[in-house]
Amino acid sequence: MPGKLKAKIVAGRHLPVMDRASDLTDAFVEVKFGNTTFKTDVFPKSLNPQWNSEWFKFEVDDEDLQDEPLQITVLDHDTYSANDAIGKVYIDIDPLLCAEAASVISGWFPIYDTIHGIRGEINVLVKVELFNDLNRFRQSSCGVKFLCTTSIPRGYRAAMVHGFVEELVVNEDPEYQWIDRIRTPRASNEARQRLISLMSGELQRKIGLKVLEMGGNAVVGYLQCFDLEGESGLVVRAIGTACTLEKHSSGSLVNTHTHPNTAPASNACNSPSKDGKEPVFGEDLPSSSGPPTPFRILPTSSFSPPPFSPSKPCSRQSSSSDTDLSLTPKTDESQSGRRRPGIFLCPSSPVLSADSLSLPGSGSVGRGHSSGCRAITPPIPSFTHSDSALLRKSVSFTEDLLLAASGMGSGGSAGKEAGPLKTLLRQQTQTALEQRGASSSGLLLNAREFPFFTLTSFPPGFLVHVGGVVSARSVKLLDRIHNPDLIQSSRQSIVRMERKMTGRQRKSQDRLWNVTDEPETRDAWWEEIRQEIKSHAKALGCHAVVGYSENTSICEEVCILSASGTATILNPRYMREGCLDIGSTDHRFDDPSPPSCGFCHIPYDELNMPFPAQLTYCYNCRRQKVPDVLFTTIDLPAEAAVTGKGCLIQARLCRLKKKAQGEVNATAISNLLPFMEYELHTQLMNKLKLRSMNALFGLHIQISVGENMLLGLASATGVYLTALPAPGGIQIAGKTSGDLNNEQHIQSIQKRINDTIAKNKELHQINPPELTEEGVGSPIPEPRHRSRLFRSHSESSDEVSELDLSHGKKDAFVLEIDDTDAVEDIHSLLIDASPPTGFYTCNTETMPGIYNWTTAVQMFTSVRVLRLSNANLSNQSLNKIFTDLCENLLKSFYFKLRSNIPCCLCHLNFTVAVPEEELIQVSVTAVAMTFDQDQTQERFITKGGNETEEQLQFPLELCADSSSTNTQTSSKFSGVPENTIVSSRVSSLENCSPLTEGRPRSLRSSRSFGGSSVTMVKMTPLSFLPGTRIIKYLGIINMFFIRETTSLREEGGVSGFLHSFIAEVFAMVRAHVAALGGNAVVSYSMKDCVLMENPNKNQAQCLINVSGDAVICVRETDQEPMTSMTNIGQSCTADGAT
Amino acid sequence: MAVELDVFVGNTTIMDEEVYQLWLDGYTVNDAVKVRMAGGVLDECEANQDVLLSDTMDQYRTFQMCERLLQSPAKLANQLLFQIPPHRQTMLIERYYAFDDAFVREVLGKKLSKGTKKDLDDIGAKTGVTLKSCRRQFDNFKRVFKVVEELKGPLVENIRQHFLLSDKLARDYAAIVFFANNRFETGKKKLQYLTFQDFAFCAGQLINNWTVGAVDNMAEDMDVDLDKEFLQELKELKVLITDKDLLDQHKSLVCTALRGKTKAFTEMEANFKNLSRGLVNIATKLTNTKDVRDFFIDLVEKFIEPCRSDRWTSADVKLYLTHYTNSAHILDSFKHQAVWDRYMGVIKSCIFKMYHD
């Protein structure tokens, strides 16, 4: 009985009228935790009830504390009929379990109803008393910090980074249970909300356990996602990076090897696996002087892990006998050989290699290449019927496996290595819970198995070299849950859900014969992907993957699993021993590369590159080789030397596909994927060149599947890295040189492109220092390749047209000017408007070249859905529509945020979906950050000097001062004319004049003006708030809401419905943060926004999942937390509502 | 291809003041877009019409969602749905409760009933204010009226506290409530030249001096009803015109004081008895509700019009009324100095305000 939870219901306000006769409400409150429920008295006839209840006490397991939310239901008492529910509040207790986080939850929470939205507010106090010591925590993992932030949180130091943690939990979706047919939508929605809350609590607890066993105390970069698989269930999965965090004040550097927790652990970690793997890796990483090892070549078969998980008949119960399992991959390997003979043809094509040249720096060995290859060789559907005896119906289409094909080189021994790896990896998927004994080694293997880090920015010196982006995708058919044996995976939820799931009566039986354990299958799917990612990284000569993320896209029964990250070499000094496979004497860590360019230096061996790349000596230090372009998924390292500013670069693509079912559908999709990846990549590359930049950061490629189309959206922030060579221009070539018209046409297009490049250079202030030819080192003389349309032109070549023609012959990829597709493509390339003066855009945390942020931030979420009325659209016109959709969204942002100029839209996060056949949905969350133009001008000459002081002042006052003004007491507020005068814009408008002129002696009673009773809570997708210092992390915010309406028209249509829902979600997030004593949310993100509508029935439903870190921050100059003042209003009771 | 859904939600609610005004003024989204385009907002940010439409729709939706809160402004301050900095809240409320002088002029003194509401389209057509805006303004009047009707204490202060309005606007609303409550006639042709601000000023004078609240700050009754006792006492002033001696004495005192100070002296002298009778009669009749309603029309007919036909300047009027009031104090047999002051103080300032050159 390790904990006591106490809750007190203080008051309500703004309640809805529940009794039409009296226009009042007789409200009371039910407080529920686990299976215990308490009730307050009825407070009759009031819309602002004052319950002032006693403390309700729940004595509970800490395990429950982690899993369960506190559930508060406000009801209207009715003497004659059933009591009507007004709404609910779910409060996550987790932040109270962490000693360092919040100590009490106290404040006003919106009362939320899934049908009516927010209906008034309730004031609640919650406390937790934990009794026992940490040693006794077995099932629970209280005390582990969870952070969404994908960097080491400010104010902390990573004493140790332990590595990758992951977990997933599966359950049946209440929406798809038979009982759903007879219960109300409200009951169904609430069951879902509650279930997901339970599942994410459980997931977090399990991950926490893994972290504790690794010896860590925190999870950074915690990324939790929901897969709504419809009938086949509901998956909640999470990944993160386990760390040992220390408060900064503790100071001195800790020697990693003497860390008490980890030393024994790492030993344990090494013992079982070392023999098998270490030597292999050791060979892999020696200095480049050694002979090329087979591992540097992309080993084909290492890319072909079994397309489906080798089934584990005895799965989780077994502590996995290695021998048993290792057999499975072997057979698979042989299978894969048999299955795809065609693949090996690809590398032999000279065209291919020329083509793949285009992707060198990108390092997207996998995607880019293979797609390139498949662009020529129609891909052989590599889906494989699973051995049905083992796997039932789960068929997987591992198009990703084809990746290897482009790889040069044969399978070799590395392929075999994959086998044992896989077996070991099996172990980690088994939930730690059941096999405590085996788990410690399993977990440590996990870290070793997948040297992945969800972090995107790192302490200086952490990142040694960056290889490039690695990604993997796989198409799976979702299988219905065959009465899954959920008891172990989500035991807690099941027991509690039992009541509702009468259909689950047979479960005890099921356990006897059901061997396909759902979480296991999902685990296996992800393992496959992760394994592939790891192989890619290895092929790039890297031992770690950073900026790692995973996501899915589901349409009906088809699911695309994707993972991507950046292959890197990390400094082992920061890692726990054994976490990475690093030869201790590896020269690369002694590399004295300057920090501003070191990470750009190639990690792979120059003489035996994983792919043909154009290398030059680093333009910064001139000692090491660098690629001509660099693609990454991480944030720009702070120490990187950058020329000019960056900008958002997006590649957008639509591909139609035939409607189909089942395997046919999955095949079609996996056939399309490589083409899409290739196209996206080409677009990115061209747009990068067009902007005269040479590196992409924060690359995120999303491919979304719909019934009749696939959408691809790649977003990244382009920059000019000083260390990398200047990008060549874009050269247009026609196939036939004779036609005069054509020549002119080509010339005019070429001119437009050149003009655009010049304009962009100016816009982004890219003025790299001129370099002489000798200094440039020796570019590897390879035919300059380019994509289908354009041929990149390295600066070293002078002659243009003639050279191109010759290349044209070589390449076989020539722009035919009468090819309308090609023309369209050029137009689409040029259509991307650059942001208007005063705006900058990026999808990373900050923009290089801008340092002097003001404290003004404006976070926003925007959703747009387009209905395609014409069913017979071509790919081209679809592309145009999709591109316009994205461009128009951006234009809208510029316009709406024009008062914030000069500002930068940071962390622009686009999410695409195909919710229905004819619909395209794009959701964006970003933050507009204002900066001080004047200081910028000292550094750079900008054209846009037209910003008046007025414009500067406005945003300042809007956001920054708002937080301070609301800290003033209310009486003071009314008497302070500055509030209205500060903004010259406001006061300059005639209608405001009454405000400014005469309110000299209004001593307004504070009673009526509760203006400062609501804490201002700032939200940002970034990990920091400019101009402020985070003094405390209060806990993770992870909320899931469902909203439904049966009166869509009355709520203003879908737009009105979603608008108010998003506003409500914001409000609930802010309320929770304020109740924890916080004043900001950092690393905020909206993970899901699933909208379903049926205008004919006047109905709509929407699901939103958001997360972030609640923090207390103070102005950089202040010492005292702002909240000490802003919270004053919290305790004041309802008032003013006459 | 059509935009099915388009929303933009900021953590801090973004509200463009120009669009807010257009919304308040009852423009449709499309009309608002036209106005904005004409205003040249597109040049600001390389936007196009679609962007403007999308933005306008978003803003209109936000305002509609906010409207419920604006109707009880105290809620706006402690609601959680919209995060709006306090000074922006003040702006929203102030603008929401702002009204068109042309519109209020039409409604002033009318009963705030359903019947009047039905006539709003006519009023709208006449004043050029959109029906939507008329409705909002009318509902605002009615809402304020209903709330303060049941409250004790000073009217202006009550309005300011409950609706969080600026002092100026609260005073205007007090005037509207006061006029509606006493049903002062303001619509007659003769009164057309008076602006709302003229009336509002007069209302302020009446509220401050003639209501119960003027004598007793915390009286049970409110500022909206005139002080019955005082109205009764006004009957005593009749002596000024009924007593022939007193009237003559009064006249000579005034004429002595005025002589040589104005060009209109002869007219003043000639009209003295008429004017004095007019003013005193108004005072004595105020016990009748009907005559209270006609208060302003009486002032115009009995005093302002005669003076104007004699081409008095404002200064003349001021001079005359000052001496007219003060001279009464010197009259030995006139005992009702306090009532006289209370009455003439208001009359004087009302006439000053109402006398347009």
Tokens standing for residue A222:
């915690």
Tell me what pLDDT residue A580 has: 52
pLDDT(A533) > 60: yes
> Per 3-state DSSP, what percentage of chain A is helix, strand, and coil (rounded to 5)?
35, 25, 35
Q: What percent of chain A has pLDDT over 90?
A: 22
Radius of gyration for chain A, computed over Cα atoms and rounded to the nearest angstrom: 30
Minimal CA–CA distance to A924: which of A863, A883, A845?
Answer: A863
Side by side, the strands of the sheet bearing A117-130 are A36-39, A27-33, A69-76, A84-92, A105-113, A117-130, A3-13, A56-60
pLDDT in tens, chain B (357 residues): 688 899 999 999 989 999 999 999 999 999 999 999 888 877 766 778 888 999 999 999 999 999 999 999 988 888 899 999 989 999 999 999 999 988 999 888 888 888 788 888 888 888 889 999 999 999 999 999 998 887 878 888 889 999 999 999 999 999 999 899 888 988 888 888 999 999 999 999 888 888 877 766 665 556 778 888 888 888 888 888 888 888 888 888 888 888 877 787 888 888 888 888 888 899 888 888 888 889 999 999 988 988 888 888 888 888 888 888 888 888 877 888 888 888 899 999 999 899 887
What's the pTM?
0.77
Which of B30, B62, B97 finishes a domain? B97
Tell me what pLDDT residue A356 has: 31
Q: Mean per-residue pLDDT for A340-349?
A: 28
pLDDT tens digit sequence for A1088-1137: 899 988 888 889 999 999 999 999 998 877 554 443 333 333 333 333 33
Judgement on whether residues B108 and B170 belong to the same structural domain of the protein: yes
Chain B partners of A1054 at a C-beta cutoff of 8 Å? 4-5
Judgement on whether residues B275 and B290 belong to the same structural domain of the protein: yes
Whether B167 contacts chain A with CB within 8 A? yes
Q: Identify whether B206 is part of a domain.
A: no
Task: Name the pLDDT band for A57 (thresholds 50, 70, 90).
Answer: very high
pLDDT tens digit sequence for A758-795: 888 887 777 766 544 443 344 433 333 333 333 333 33
pLDDT(A1042) > 70: yes
Whether A1050 contacts chain B with CB within 8 A? no
Which of B79, B97, B115 finishes a domain? B97
Give me the CATH number covering residue B323. 1.10.490
Q: Which of B1, B55, B81 lies nearest to residue A1067, judging by beta carbons?
A: B81
pLDDT tens digit sequence for A250-305: 433 333 333 333 333 333 333 333 333 333 333 333 333 333 333 333 333 333 33
> Could you give the CA distance from residue B318 to residue B315 in angstroms, rounded to a whole number?
5
Tell me what pLDDT residue A563 has: 93
> Could you give the CA distance from residue A298 to residue A407 in angstroms, rounded to a whole number?
5
Tell me what pLDDT residue A730 has: 73
Count of structural domains within chain B: 3
Phi, psi of B256 (to 5 degrees): -60, -45
Report the residue of chain B nearest A117, measured CA to CA.
B81
> Could you give the CA distance from residue A559 to residue A552 in angstroms, rounded to a whole number?
7
Tell me what pLDDT residue A522 has: 83
Tell me what pLDDT residue A1062 has: 95
Cβ contacts of A754 within 8 Å, gap of 6 or more: A729
Minimal CA–CA distance to B175: which of B197, B195, B150?
Answer: B197
Minimal CA–CA distance to B211: which of B268, B153, B157?
Answer: B153
State the nearest Cα–Cα gap between A487 and chain B, in angstroms: 40
Residue with tokens 């926003």: A860
State the nearest Cα–Cα gap between A121 and chain B, in angstroms: 8
A864 close to A1058: Cβ distance less than 8 angstroms: no
Q: Identify whether B197 is part of a domain.
A: no
pLDDT tens digit sequence for A13-35: 999 998 888 888 999 999 999 88
Task: Name the pLDDT band for A142 (thresholds 50, 70, 90).
Answer: confident
Which of B64, B97, B130 finishes a domain? B97
Judgement on whether residues B114 and B78 belong to the same structural domain of the protein: no
Whether A954 contacts chain B with CB within 8 A? no
Tell me what pLDDT residue A1068 has: 95
Q: Identify whether B149 is part of a domain.
A: yes
Whether B147 contacts chain A with CB within 8 A? yes
pLDDT(A108) > 50: yes
Q: Mean per-residue pLDDT for A402-412?
A: 30
A892 close to B25: Cβ distance less than 8 angstroms: no
Judgement on whether residues B73 and B33 belong to the same structural domain of the protein: yes
Q: Identify whether B291 is part of a domain.
A: yes
Whether A1003 contacts chain B with CB within 8 A? no
Tell me what pLDDT residue A555 has: 87
Minimal CA–CA distance to A163: which of A576, A705, A517, A763?
Answer: A576
Chain A partners of B91 at a C-beta cutoff of 8 Å? 980, 986, 992, 995
Q: Mean per-residue pLDDT for A87-111?
A: 86
Tell me which of A253-262, A621-630, A708-717 is least confident.
A253-262
Say if the Cβ atoms of A991 and B88 lie within 8 Å.
Answer: no
Tell me which of A538-542, A1012-1016, B64-68 is least confident.
A1012-1016
Judgement on whether residues B288 and B178 belong to the same structural domain of the protein: no
B225 close to B181: Cβ distance less than 8 angstroms: yes
pLDDT(A461) > 70: yes
Tell me what pLDDT residue A96 has: 85
pLDDT(A1031) > 80: yes
Report the residue of chain A nearest B167, measured CA to CA.
A999
Q: Mean per-residue pLDDT for A87-105?
A: 84
Chain B partners of A14 at a C-beta cutoff of 8 Å? 75, 79
- Inter-residue long-range contacts of A937-946, CB under 8 Å, 24+ positions, other chains counted: A939/A849, A940/A765, A940/A849, A941/A765, A942/A765, A943/A762, A943/A837, A944/A837, A944/A838, A944/A902, A946/A837
Whether B61 contacts chain A with CB within 8 A? yes
Say if the Cβ atoms of A870 and B1 lie within 8 Å.
Answer: yes
Radius of gyration for chain B, computed over Cα atoms and rounded to the nearest angstrom: 25
Whether A247 contacts chain B with CB within 8 A? no
Phi, psi of A721 (to 5 degrees): -80, 125
H helix or E strand, kind and range, residue A1040: strand A1028-1045
Judgement on whether residues B143 and B47 belong to the same structural domain of the protein: no
Residue A918's CB is within 10 A of a number of other CB atoms, namely 20
Task: Name the pLDDT band for A4 (thresholds 50, 70, 90).
Answer: confident
pLDDT(A1073) > 90: yes
Judgement on whether residues B87 and B130 belong to the same structural domain of the protein: no
State the nearest Cα–Cα gap between A284 and chain B, in angstroms: 50
Q: Which of B44, B94, B169 lies nearest to residue A898, judging by beta carbons?
A: B44
Tell me what pLDDT residue A518 has: 59
Cβ contacts of B309 within 8 Å, gap of 6 or more: none
A1024 close to A1111: Cβ distance less than 8 angstroms: no
> Could you give the CA distance from residue A306 to residue A525 in angstroms, rounded to a whole number?
10
Q: Identify whether B2 is part of a domain.
A: no
Which of A982, A1014, A1102 would best serve as a mutation to test chain B binding (most B beta carbons within 10 A)? A1014
Tell me which of A664-678, A822-836, A1060-1074, B128-142 is least confident.
A822-836
> Could you give the CA distance from residue A349 to residue A687 in angstroms, rounded to a whole number?
27
Say if the Cβ atoms of A862 and B8 lie within 8 Å.
Answer: yes
Tell me which of A20-29, A574-583, A700-709, B152-161 is least confident.
A574-583
pLDDT(A445) > 90: no
Tell me what pLDDT residue A1082 has: 94
Domain span at residue B346 reads 228-354
Whether B89 contacts chain A with CB within 8 A? yes
Cis peptide bond prior to A305, omega within 30° of 0: no
Chain A partners of B95 at a C-beta cutoff of 8 Å? 991
Strand A218-228 and strand A234-247: pairing? antiparallel
Tell me what pLDDT residue A1102 has: 93
Whether B46 contacts chain A with CB within 8 A? yes
Q: Mean per-residue pLDDT for A424-432?
A: 34
pLDDT(A569) > 70: yes
Report the residue of chain A nearest B41, measured CA to CA.
A895
* H-only helix segments in A73-116: 94-97
Which of A923, A929, A1055, A1086 would best serve as a mutation to test chain B binding (most B beta carbons within 10 A)? A1055
Q: Identify whether B196 is part of a domain.
A: no
Tell me what pLDDT residue A448 has: 55
State the nearest Cα–Cα gap between A759 and chain B, in angstroms: 17
Q: Which of A986, A1010, A1014 lies nearest to residue B91, judging by beta carbons?
A: A986
Minimal CA–CA distance to A978: which of A987, A970, A969, A988?
Answer: A987
Judgement on whether residues B253 and B341 belong to the same structural domain of the protein: yes
Q: Identify whether B319 is part of a domain.
A: yes
pLDDT(A716) > 90: yes
Tell me what pLDDT residue A942 has: 35
Which of A857, A963, A988, A1066 would best serve as a mutation to test chain B binding (most B beta carbons within 10 A)? A1066
Chain B partners of A1003 at a C-beta cutoff of 8 Å? none
Tell me what pLDDT residue A1019 has: 94
* H-only helix segments in B1-119: 17-24, 29-38, 41-45, 49-70, 73-78, 86-97, 101-107, 114-118
Q: Identify whether B40 is part of a domain.
A: yes
pLDDT(A422) > 60: no
DSSP states along A116-175: TEEEEEEEEEEEEEE-S-GGG-SS--TT-EE---SSPPTTEEEEEEEEEEEEEEEE--GG
